[in-house]
Amino acid sequence: MLLTEIAEELAFAWRILPELMKGLVVTLELTGLSLVAGLVLAIPVSMLRTYTRGPLNWLATAYVEVFRGTPLLVQLFVVYYGLPEMGVVWSRFFSAWLALTLNSAAYQSEYIRGAILSVSEGQLLAARSLGMPPIQAFRWVVLPQALRLALPAWSNEVAYMVKYVSVVYMIAVQELFTRAQGIISRTFKVWTPLLEVAVVYLAVVYLVTRLMDSVERRFRIPGLEGGVERREMV
């Protein structure tokens, strides 16, 4: 009977939900930690790219190009399998976090760099004319504007990140997708866990997008809207 089968699948879906939720917690931890650490790293990188010339600029540029130009999976394997050969050993979770952070920081630094460039030069001149040293002028005048301008792009990065994290399945970190994969190989049921995990991703990304929208609204200032409004990009 079809109905019985559906009821059984739903019951199964319900049974595995707690396990998937445990995975979701890990996914969200990795997303959050990588995004925040990525942002902290992205700001100095974008500053070096924007304001310096010579070796520091080359270094920052090389970093961004390498991490944007190679697959995240390769970066993950280098951190998890490659570095231990050189005597650096980390936990799976730490390796996953490090690779995701380094990757995300490269992208985030580009969003921020673009935003810094779109803050008019007059803003910096005005700050300097009041006696602010360069770092102070950057910190209090350029950066707050640049971060606001980068917010729409940054919202996208958040949504990407939730899904990118599933790559760490490859080093068996017990995040959402890894859990689903575990269930599949244990129970030989494919469709239900896969659909279920897809629905969970969908729901999380939806919620995150809503959250970022309200953050954008919260920080909106007249005359300083982010470059591209997502909802206008139909």
Chain positions contacting another protein, by CB under 8 A? 120, 122-123, 125-133, 136, 140-141, 144-145, 148, 221-224
In the complex with another protein, the residue whose CB is nearer, 84 or 133, is 133
Nearest distance, CB of residue 122 and another protein, angstroms: 4
Q: How many helices (H) and strands (E) does the chain have?
A: 10, 0
In the complex with another protein, the residue whose CB is nearer, 54 or 222, is 222
Nearest distance, CB of residue 150 and another protein, angstroms: 13
Tokens of 166: 């599933």
Rounded Cα distance, 117 and 134, in Å:
16
Nearest distance, CB of residue 73 and another protein, angstroms: 39
Neighbours of 62 (CB within 10 A): 10
Nearest distance, CB of residue 132 and another protein, angstroms: 6
Nearest distance, CB of residue 9 and another protein, angstroms: 53
Report how far apart, in Å, the C-alpha atoms of 87 and of each of 53, 102, 149 are: 34, 20, 42
Q: Is 234 exposed, middle or buried (0-12, 13-18, 19+ CB in 10 A)?
A: exposed
Tokens of 94: 């730490």
Tokens of 54: 């010579």
In the complex with another protein, the residue whose CB is nearer, 148 or 179, is 148
In the complex with another protein, the residue whose CB is nearer, 144 or 159, is 144
In the complex with another protein, the residue whose CB is nearer, 41 or 141, is 141
